[in-house]
Amino acid sequence: MTDGALAVIRAGALTTVQDLGRYGHAHLGVPRSGALDLPALRLVNRLVGNPEGAAVLETTLDGCAVRPRRAVTAVVAGAPCPVSVDGRPAAWGAPVRVPAGAVLDIGAAVSGVRGYVAFGGGIAVEPVLGSRSTDLLSGLGPAPLRDGTVLPLGRASGRAVPADAVPFPAPPAELVLRVRFGPRDDWFTDAALRTLVTRVYRVSSASNRIGLRTEGPSLDRAVTGELPSEGLVTGAVQVPPDGSPVVFLADHPTTGGYPVVAVVRERDLAAAAQAPPGTPVRFTAAGR
């Protein structure tokens, strides 16, 4: 049952509904999806009194503005940004009471990329395959927000958690991604493998929820033939023909035909979600 709704006044560059994701459907060609910064999702839900997997808004770079039709408690966190309610400054990273009909404005990120906005009761769109997440690759879940979109709100069942200070990690000045080589590291020269873990790359402006694209030294192949499509996991470092590594994120395809040289450890991917274009990237070997 829902109680009230949320009208979108300013959708921003890319604002989507996200939760913990759509697990267990890769065999059907359905990605995991879900929030790119899972620790931020869990934290804003805890601060507003929701279960950790409640659906929230994930903003990109320039935030968004919404008007709830009932009074609601909200928390904005993830990428640091200004927050206001009807033009009056409000707290970032702490519960904020938003009266019915007031405009909650989430401003442009001061640093980082993605903000997370939780509301008491969560965003109550209908789940698809067990998740309310927007999947940009397959099109499952609600469409990215547009001006005028109306989203249902769930009924709040918990109490907002008071906190004097919450230790949100700062967006990375340098992104360090620990990798395990394989499964197709033998498709690359020894020099290419050394290059991957010794040279500095940078986050490309072409990055998105599907993958973090990098700019830097090209990785040369030892095998030049075609590779049949095979399964892909979140964090896979795929190398397309231009030789520039791509780190697959939540909306990645479930299969692919370019070789995967390594896989990034899952716990490092939240920082990748907050690394803006131009951020230095270092891959470090965590073993084979």
Residues 216 and 251 in one domain: yes
Residue 149 lies in domain = 2-154
More confidently predicted of 245 and 227: 245
pLDDT tens-digit series, residues 47-73:
999 999 999 999 999 999 999 999 999
What CATH number does residue 248 fall under? 2.40.100.10
Residues 70 and 137 in one domain: yes
CA atoms within 13 A on the CB side of 63: 22
Band of residue 101 on the pLDDT scale cut at 50, 70, 90 = very high
pTM: 0.93
Q: What percent of the chain has a predicted confidence (pLDDT) above 70?
A: 96
Residues 49 and 139 in one domain: yes
Structural domain contains residue 33: yes
Residues 38 and 136 in one domain: yes
Buried b (16+ CB within 10 A) or exposed e, 253-275: bbebebbbbbbbeeebbbbbbbb
User: Given this model, what pLDDT does residue 233 score?
Assistant: 94
Residues 13 and 127 in one domain: yes
Structural domain contains residue 195: yes
Structural domain contains residue 227: yes
Of 154, 187, 211, the one marking the end of a domain is 154
Structural domain contains residue 68: yes
**Segment among 4-8, 105-109, 221-225 with least mean pLDDT:** 221-225
Residues 192 and 149 in one domain: no
For 32, 44, 157, 199, 270, the CA distances from 35, given in Å and listed in that order, are 10, 12, 22, 29, 9
Residues 109 and 148 in one domain: yes
Conformational region of residue 94, where left means phi above 0, alpha means psi within -120 to 50, and beta covers everything else: beta
Residues 202 and 111 in one domain: no
Mean pLDDT of 156-168: 71
pLDDT tens-digit series, residues 75-100:
999 999 999 999 999 999 999 999 99
Residues 78 and 136 in one domain: yes
Of 119, 154, 189, the one marking the end of a domain is 154
Residues 12 and 148 in one domain: yes
Residues 145 and 24 in one domain: yes
Residues 56 and 183 in one domain: no
How many domains in the chain?
2
Structural domain contains residue 197: yes
